[in-house]
Amino acid sequence: MLTIAASATTFDTVTAYLSWDHDRLDAILKSARARVEAGEWAHAQAEYGDFDRGLHRHIRLEEEILFPLFEQRTGSEGPTSVMRAEHKVIRAALGVMGDAVGRRDAGAFREGVATLFSVLPDHNEKEEQVLYPTTDRVLPEGERAALAARLQRE
């Protein structure tokens, strides 16, 4: 099983932590995809499981903690409504990929990955370039650091 943990460094901004988490999840998915392509199904299932749990956690942190705070502090729901809609597509792709790994169906897994990649790169970029930095800017330093710590704990 591939595990990629945070270093001893504590992240003190939303941007730093959630961008790091994007990179961590990308690395796990890359490994899971390689395992699928190699027909190493036991490893593929374990690594995909890590990715699936990690991405669902990431989405939960955004939807339950970050988005409501962003909306409250900025008075805007536009960016977060787009993100929530994209999360639905991402969750659907995760379902396809998980089912495919369970059935040991590389072709169906690739289809799920294609759906995921039709949304995820632009989605992550919007979060990393707009949503996260805006959240960091509207929060006082102490509150920003406390939020980053909370996201890391949950």
Per-domain boundaries in the chain:
14-153
Q: Cα separation of 58 and 63, whole Å?
A: 9
pTM: 0.92
3-state class (DSSP) for residue 139 = coil
For the cut 60, the answer to whether the pLDDT of residue 4 exceeds it is no
> Mind listing the pLDDT tens digit for each residue in 41-97?
999 999 999 999 999 999 999 999 999 999 999 999 999 999 999 999 999 999 999
Residue 93 confidence (pLDDT): 98
Say if CB 54 and CB 47 are below 8 A apart.
Answer: no
Residue 77 confidence (pLDDT): 92
CATH code for residues 14-153: 1.20.120.520
b/e map 14-48, b = 16+ CB within 10 Å: bbebbbbbbebbeebbebbbebbeeeebebbbbbb
For the cut 70, the answer to whether the pLDDT of residue 3 exceeds it is no
b/e map 119-135, b = 16+ CB within 10 Å: bbeebbeebeeebbebb
b/e map 75-89, b = 16+ CB within 10 Å: eeeebbeebeebbee
> Mind listing the pLDDT tens digit for each residue in 24-46?
999 999 999 999 999 999 999 99
